[in-house]
Structure 1
Amino acid sequence: MSKTFTRNLTAVAVAVAVQTMSGYSLAEAGEETFSLEEIIVTAQKREQSLQDVPSTVNAIQGDALTDKKLFNFTDLEQVSPGLELRSIDGRAGSIALRGVDFNPNSGASAAVDVYWNDVTLGTNASGGVFQEMFDLGRVELLRGPQGTLQGRTSPAGAVAIHTAKPDMEEVEGYVRTTFTDNSGTNTQFASSLPIIPGELSVRVAGVYSDSELSEVKNYVDGDVSDTQTKAGRISVAWQPSDEFAAEFVYQYVENDLSNYSVLTGTSTLGQGLPTLSGSDLEAIQTQADVYNGRFENVSLKLDWEVLGHQVTFVSGYSEVSSVRDFDNALGNTKIGFDDHPVLTALYPQIGLTGTQLNNPQRMLDQNYASSQELRIASMDNEFWDYTVGVYYGNESGFYNNEFMREQFFGPASLYFDTVASAPFDIQSYGAFAHNIFYLNDQWTAQVGIRWQRQERTVESSLYAAEDTTAPNPALVFSEGDELAQLIPDDLESLNSEAWTGSVSLQYAFADYDASAYVSAATSFRPGGATVSNKDLGELTEYNEEDSWSLEVGVKSSWLDNRLRLNSAIFYQDYSDYIGRANRVSLNPASAANGGEGSITTNGDATVQGVEVDFEYLMAENWHIAGGVSYVEAEYKDGVTLPSNDCAFVGTETAAMCDVGGLELGTQAPFTASLSTDYTIPMDAFEIYMLGLYKFTGRRTDTDAPSGDLGGYGTFDLHLGLREASATWDVSLFVRNLFDKEATDNLQPESKTFGRAPIETTGYLKTGQIAPRLIGLSATYNF
């Protein structure tokens, strides 16, 4: 255990102890009758109090997200320390938790899975949740290995999204409109319509949103980033008796995105382009990064109580269709190519357009996923409660990458259109059992086990997309010719099988509303082959990942349940952790033929950390909540991975470097959040104020040349007025009130097709935190 980790752990432990002791003394003196509401979660596939679950679970209610104007899925990280959400390109998103990062373009199984109404989402279907959030019941964040009860095993955690349920008794709903100063509008509505009161009800909900995002401006044509999202949902709840209930939900999301990437640096192409910093929020692109996607999700849940058991069947389906057109060589323009002697000498094919330096690409995704789960759970037994079940999932579709290829022929190069096509089919099977033993009034033990099998078939080949004749007249490509098989035959079909499980012991203190627990769990991710538009040679295959973890935690309530305080310390050991080496230079002497590629990798690693969260009702009209996360996640000594920091050896596909001690991803080790809301009651209405502070500490970005990014904090402020019975609500809000400027991430220098000396544009792609945003929101409830 490192000295830094020990110091931070000690500081957090002292803070928890001080709060706990002060909370106990105040509890003795306080006589207030108001208290926090009990939080009910389904993290263990049965309704339980959050305080009874022997693991770290955070529940975020839909109303809390609305109050804080957190409308996009990525906004969840504002109220969840240790969680990092990043929309990569509109079609997919990255979720990092407990220091473990994941790139969906890796083709590997997710480190943090997403569930929508208990349904597992397909690999790219999770991109459908990286959109506008609307009409949610709650979001549950499950931290740590999910190796027993969830649909798939994921080592870092899971995000479970639960949409709002229809009201079975009365017509109710709302209309909400929000305007922001980035030319943004967000209009949401929802309504429950009981058809047979108490038995059958329908709820409809929808959202339309558009904005100019962070108003990133393109230097080339003055255009600005913008996005538009529209979505709709219909939910049907049927409960003909006390013993049987059914719920059906259908949702679609359509997103159109025209995005520009912020650059920093100085041009090396001599085109009269400006020197930029991230704070300029400026791009240099010959075309916008244009994305169009449609996501459809369906869930069906049937619950039947019979013979002291609850039988549950969950079936789901998701479909993704998306197209993305973009320039993969940022930081250049067609201007100035014609009269630039160095460029025209190196690129004789450029002519009058110079498009060979722009590297235009297109990505097409079609993804179909379905899953079925049947489970049987005992109900309210005195000594032993259990849940057993079976699971089946299927995911299929294809991923196509259309791009211009540079082929070397002696001193000259040939440019022609190609397409890398990767059809896939993945079958998943599982069987599980989870047991809860109530040993006595104070001790509870839990034991779970899961068997899973995955049968994965992934093919990938590079094809010519046009008829082409090379400088060598004997070499002719016809449209549709296979130029390279990117995944060899022996790696196209791979099967994985594993057993995982969990065990915990929990002790409830007799004289306090508190419990302590220790839990151990294992997780697993199957191996596979990297899907790439390059031949990765011996680096194509990646191995299975295994991990085990140990967590010790305390959950407590104080001041007559006005203060809820939970904390945990954890350690996780990974064998063959599945990571990603991005934009690695490939050896021209190898089968990869040079250029660059992103490679899915393996390396042993460890994760250790501490998490604390609290909620405090200081007065009946004053509420405070927050949390802290500190995590160290790094590769073990002696691990070697592809990197641009070392030299090629022989004909190896990529240079290999010792990365021992390197962080697993770009997530900040230390993050914290604090929110408070205060209400001033009046006769017919009430005034309220809400503040939200999020701090992100210093971190190492493994893709950044500097390697280190500074910490930053942002503060949001909301001032509102609402009618006493909440029929209407109007609020003015400012996100990032002090207009803090900070770099969230950096990527390596953008490259053209060129060979040395002109190989990079001189610019780095940088992610900047969103600038100050001012908005006005109005809600009418009925």
Structure 2
Amino acid sequence: MELVMEHRFSKTRLSLTVSALLLGSQALAQSSSPLVLEEITVTAQKTTELLQDVPVSVNAVTGKVFEQNVAFEMKELNKFIPGMYANGNKNNPNIALRGVSTIAGGPTTPRANIFVDGSYQSQQQLSFYSQFDIARFEVLRGPQGTLYGKASPTGTISIHTRNPDLTEVEGFIKHSAGQHSLSNTQFGVSVPLIENELGVRFAGVYDENQSSDYEYANMNVDQLSRTKSGRVTFLWEPGDMFSGRLSHLYSEYDSNESRFIAGVEPGSPIPGLPSEGISPFERQDFSNFPRDANVRINQTIAELNFDFDWAVLTSQTYHATSTNDEFYDADSTPIDDAYRNTQINLSKLFNTELRLASSDNDFWNWMVGVYYANNDSRTTVDTKGTAVNGLPGNFVGPFPPFPVNISFVSATTLDAISEDWGAFTHNTFYLNDDWTLTLGARWNNERRSNVNAIATDIDIALDTGNGYETITSVPGALNARPAETTWIAWTGTAKLAYNLSADEMVYVTIDRGGRAGGQTLDLAGTTPPSISEYDPESSNSIEIGYKGELLDRRLRLNLSAYYQMYNDFQFYTQDQPLDTNLDGNYDEMFRITQNAKEVLAQGAEAEVTYLFNENLSGMLSVSYNDTKFEDFDDAACGDGIRTVIPADGQAYLACDLGGDRLGSDTGNWSVISRASYSLPLGRWGAEWYADALYNFYSTRVSPITRIDSPSYATADFFTGLRSTDGVWDLKLWVKNAFDKEAIQNINSYETTVAFPLRGTPTGLLEYDLLANPRQVGLTGTYNF
């Protein structure tokens, strides 16, 4: 059961907003009534409701569906929700919803938030290592400005893990093995400690895989990632007046898998890179040493509920710590001249929410609450790199008269402290049997305190004939940049729904969300100080839609359209040219997060689910998202108009991106189709089944480089035998069955090295977002 106040609506189908994607359609109602699609309960409004009845735009993916499609991690959620994409390396995850991504240049507030068992997870990378023992995922589209602990301009992903069973010992064990060194073992077991009152659930996963199939071209090193994770959950329900839930998660992640693989143009001058060139689909990494990544996570979540009959008081608290160390070749070439060592220490991630909610009122159900969060983190980045089109700006003196390698070694530290306060109210009015009105508001007070400190030393190495040997160093001064930002704003929602019948409704919703400003994480000490800070972002959205269940509830049809405007949109870019002394030469590269004055996002979503008979079901879902800059005339770029920054005595190139596509890991069009078929095998007590999953992604524009990536599609197939009583399941599967080669996004520029002097183009482009190759595997499950 869910640890939330259950609201038993007295109204019929009190639906307000939609665009819900139901994927568990193969399960049927077990009764003598005609076949109907299975209903799913969600807690999108902090109450337990049917998915079809929630007054928010929400997609739901059950844990059962996630597991049936042999999914192991967050980014595989993309296959079930059109218009969504969760990707990026595990240190810098990126979630796109409705065509809008969050590319972050440091510990910034995400644009799409993640909640775990009702609590806000301020550092999203904690959810990107593994997902196991899941009850369901809920994805709320559009601005979220009222109920959740953190307002969001784009949407929210809510992850719900399984509760202990208080009545009997039950559980499962599952093992998957396949190509690319896949070995994944998961288990979950519930034990009632006091029957019907106190129970505990243990769950865990041990995963080894190399699903990207990347290889080191210059080293005899096998790539592999390992994840070990365990969770213990206690559920206590001593009576009707009180319930409590406590969970703790510990995870370890270790990997030497490549962060980037190479695409090399013919004629590269760098020894060790193929002169004939190489396609990125060869999946080769030409680094001169392997990547080393190590992550440790502790996460605790507690929820207490006190039922006073007329209302329920809920306390929800989250605490987490994490260490994240990563060392890799920064230029991905055989030249031993660059590295990056990143250490992310999340010493305290804490938040708590206290809310009071009415229950079972006929006309007005209300909720009020307060929220507090305090987070401390330190990010340390040690980088060895090379000058690009010149020497680093703080180098003084003529070039030596002999072959040298000139590089910079920088130590960057970002200390980030945040403190958030919030107060909210959420109200539902049942105007009559057909009309329902929802009004919500939230006061947000968020404060950020950052200190970005960097010191850069210059190393000069002599070519001795046996490699380069350092002959002198020029130390750099410590440059510390403190920044204080405050965001105080109101966000909220207004929703109106009308029931056309018991199974159909139309709705309109107006929502407002936002996020705080911050400071660009300056790794090289080149971001001009006067433009390193960026302002808060806000968004306003209007959505209309239809939602219905037809043909005796064997057909589900959902339609929606939205129009959303972002103000002061936070746009991140990197590797842009900078003239450091106004001499006309662009002698450095810099990264920056800027505010685009206006961004327009508009689109439509449609999904249809049909139950043909008790053995065959199908689903088709289509999402169209058009996102463009409406007003952004000072965007840092590589070929724009020279723009002087008087306060810093520097200049950069700026472009007017008004009218251009925003750029995201999703294209304008996204299509998902799923079919399930089963055939009972009579006296064997089993059934044969076959499932198919199809995904299509249209052309995407990189939000960093502005380069297009072609459209592509993938197909996954699953077949097997399972017992009709649900005890065992043996599945054969293939992902990306036709081995489609696809670049998801080109977010990097051509690499340069100091060979033999200054910045030398390598002809190499780093790729970190390629579709995984075909993978065949076998999964066995035993439930008890």
CA deviation after TM superposition for structure 1 residue 638, in Å: 4.9
Give the 3-state SS of the residue equivalent to 2:579 in structure 1.
coil
Q: Does 1:138 align with 2:139?
A: no
Counterpart amino acid of 2:712? Answer: Y
- Is residue 724 from structure 1 mapped to residue 724 from structure 2 by the alignment? yes
Match of 1:543 in 2: 535
Match of 2:487 in 1: 496
Q: Distance in 2 between matches of 1:388 and 1:111?
A: 24
Residue of 563, 571, 593 corresponding to 1:600:
593
CA distance in 2, matches of 1:613, 1:574: 26
Q: 1 CA distance for matches of 2:61 and 2:572? A: 30
Shift of 1:65: 0.5
* Residue 740 (structure 1) shift: 1.1
Q: Check the 8 A contact 2:175/2:186 in 1, yes or no.
A: yes
- Tell me the TM-score normalised to structure 1 length: 0.88
Change (3 A) 1:262 1:474: closer
Return the alpha-carbon distance in structure 2 between the equivalents of residues 54 and 297 of structure 1.
30
Q: How many Å apart are 1:499 and its aligned residue?
A: 0.7
User: In the aligned structure 2, how far is the partner of 1:215 from the partner of 1:655?
Assistant: 39
Moved more, 99-108 or 250-259: 99-108
The separation in 1 between residues aligned to 2:693 and 2:445, in whole angstroms, is 44
Query: What secondary structure sits across from 1:645 in the alignment?
Result: strand
CA positional deviation for 1:752: 2.5
| Preserved CA contact (<8 Å) 1:264 1:763 | yes
Shift of 1:323: 0.4
Gapped regions of structure 2 (runs ≥ 5)? 1-17, 19-31, 387-391, 400-404, 463-470
Deviation at 1:757, TM superposition (A): 7.7
**Seq. identity, %:** 31
The number of equivalent residue pairs is 716
**Residue number among 406, 410, 422 corresponding to 2:397 in the alignment:** 410
SS of the residue aligned with 1:613? Answer: strand
Distance in structure 2 (CA, Å) of the matches to 1:701 and 1:103: 10
Q: Residue 134 of structure 1: CA displacement?
A: 0.6
Mapped to 2, the partners of 1:475 and 1:186 lie a distance apart of 49
Q: Secondary structure at the match of 2:152?
A: coil
Matched, 1:287 2:299: no
After superposition, where does 1:460-471 map in structure 2 within 5 Å? 460-463=452-455
Q: Which residue does 1:397 correspond to in 2?
A: 377
Task: Report the CA distance between 1:759 and its aligned residue.
Answer: 3.4
Mapped partners of 1:154, 1:250: distance in 2:
26
Give the TM-score normalised by the residue count of structure 2: 0.87
In the alignment, what sits opposite 2:191?
193
Counterpart selection for 1:161 from 159, 162, 165? 159
One-letter amino acid of the counterpart of residue 269, structure 2:
L
Find the residue that maps to 1:768 and give its secondary structure: coil
Measured after TM superposition, the shift of residue 506 of structure 1 is 0.4
Matched, 1:555 2:547: yes
- State the match for 1:530 in structure 2: 520
Q: How do 1:255-334 residues align onto structure 2 when only pairs under 5 Å count?
A: 255-260=253-258, 261-266=260-265, 268-271=268-271, 273-274=273-274, 275-330=277-332, 332-334=333-335
Q: How far does residue 444 in structure 1 lie from its aligned partner after superposition? A: 0.3
Q: Quick one: which amino acid aligns to residue 374 of structure 2?
A: N
User: Structure 1 residues 752-761 or 249-258, which shifts more?
Assistant: 752-761
> 1:773 pairs with 765, 770, 775, which one?
775
Q: How does 1:95-114 map to 2 (within 5 A)?
A: 95-114=95-114
Rounded to whole Å, the distance in 2 between the matches of 1:111 and 1:609 is 18
2:350 corresponds to 1:370 = yes
Aligned mates of 2:177, 2:474 — CA distance in 1: 57
Corresponding residue SS for 1:185: strand
Partner residue, 2:207: 209
* Counterpart contact for 1:436–1:444, Cα < 8 Å: yes
- Mapped pair 1:614 → 2:608: yes
What is the CA-CA distance between 1:568 and the residue it aligns to?
A: 1.0
Structure 1 Cα separation of the partners of residues 165 and 459 of structure 2: 61
Q: Is this contact kept in 1: 2:233–2:248, CA < 8 A? A: yes
Counterpart pick for 2:362 among 374, 382, 398: 382
Over the aligned positions, Cα root-mean-square deviation in angstroms equals: 2.5
Distance 1:409 1:178, change over 3 A: same
8 Å contact kept, 2:458–2:473: no
**Secondary structure in structure 2 of the residue aligned to 1:65:** helix
In 2, Cα distance between equivalents of 1:626 and 1:247: 37
Equivalent runs, 1:642-653 vs 2, <5 Å: 642-646=636-640, 648-650=642-644, 651-653=649-651
2:325–2:344 Cα contact (<8 Å) kept: yes
- How far apart are residue 70 of structure 1 and its match? 1.0
CA distance in 1 between partners of 2:297 and 2:314 (Å):
26
1:324 positional shift: 0.7
**Distance in structure 2 (CA, Å) of the matches to 1:377 and 1:202:** 27
Whether the 8 Å CA contact 1:216–1:224 is kept in 2: the answer is no
Q: Distance in 1 between matches of 2:574 and 2:55?
A: 37
Q: Establish whether residue 626 from structure 1 lines up as the match of residue 605 from structure 2.
A: no
Task: Describe the shift of the 1:741–1:593 C-alpha distance in structure 2 as closer, same or farther (beyond 3 A).
Answer: closer
Q: 1:340-739 to 2 correspondence within 5 Å?
A: 355-356=336-337, 359-367=338-346, 368-404=348-384, 407=392, 408-412=395-399, 415=407, 417-463=409-455, 477=475, 482-485=477-480, 487=481, 489=482, 492-510=483-501, 513-533=503-523, 534-537=525-528, 538-589=530-581, 594-603=587-596, 604-646=598-640, 648-650=642-644, 651-666=649-664, 667-682=666-681, 683=683, 684-704=685-705, 707-739=707-739
Tell me the secondary structure at the aligned position of residue 609 of structure 1. strand
How far apart, CA to CA, are the structure 2 residues paired with 1:83 and 1:611? 12
SS of match in other structure, 1:75: helix
Residues in 2 aligned to 1:222 and 1:213: alpha-carbon distance in whole angstroms: 18
Aligned partners of 2:605 and 2:623 also within 8 Å: yes
Matched to 2:286, the amino acid is: I
Which residue matches 1:173? 171
For 1:543 and 1:590, the matched residues in 2 are separated by 27
SS in 2 for 1:460: strand
In the TM superposition, residue 654 of structure 1 has moved relative to its aligned partner by: 2.6
2:576–2:637 contact (8 Å) kept in structure 1: yes
CA distance in 1, matches of 2:632, 2:162: 49
From the superposition, tell whether residues 670 and 233 of structure 1 become closer, same or farther in structure 2 (CA, over 3 Å): same
In structure 2, what residue type is equivalent to 1:38?
E
Instruction: Write the letter of the residue equivalent to 1:548.
Output: N
Give the deviation of 1:205 after TM superposition: 0.4
| Matched residue type, 1:426 | S
Is the alpha carbon distance of 1:593 and 1:303 closer, same or farther for their aligned partners in structure 2, counting shifts above 3 Å? farther
- Greater CA drift, 374-383 or 533-542: 533-542
Superposition deviation, residue 535 in structure 1 = 3.4
AA in 1 matched with 2:777 = G
Quickly say closer, same or farther: Cα 1:590–1:176, change in 2 above 3 A.
Answer: farther
Please tell me the residue identity of whatever aligns with 1:778: G
> Matched residue of 1:643: which SS?
strand
Q: Is the 8 A contact 2:104 2:572 kept in 1?
A: no
Q: Is the 8 A contact 1:427 1:456 kept in 2?
A: yes
How many angstroms apart in 2 are the aligned matches of 1:653 and 1:398?
Answer: 30
Deviates more, 1:140-149 or 1:99-108: 99-108
Q: Does the 8 Å CA contact 1:728/1:779 hold for their aligned counterparts?
A: yes
Deviation, structure 1 residue 671: 0.5
Aligned CA distance change for structure 1 residues 467 and 608 (closer, same or farther; 3 Å): closer
1:234, 1:250 within 8 Å by CA — same for their partners in 2?
A: yes
Q: Which amino acid aligns with 1:614?
A: V
- 2:105 touches 2:593 (CA, 8 Å); kept in 1? no
The answer (yes or no) to whether the contact 2:577–2:586 under 8 Å persists in 1 is no
Q: C-alpha deviations, 1:693-745, integer Å up to 9, x for none?
A: 0111122235457x322111111111111122121111100001111111111
Letter in 2 for 1:494: T
Where 2:66 maps in the other structure, the secondary structure is helix
CA contact (8 A) 1:97 1:156 kept: yes
- Which AA in structure 2 matches 1:500? T
The one-character-per-residue Cα deviations of 1:323-358 (angstroms, maximum 9, x if unpaired) are: 01011112x213xxxxxxxxxxxxxxxxxxxx33xx
Q: For residues 595 and 289 of structure 1, do their structure 2 counterparts lie closer, same or farther at Cα, with a shift above 3 Å needed?
A: farther
Q: Deviations over 1:236-255 (max 9, x none)?
A: 00000022110001111211
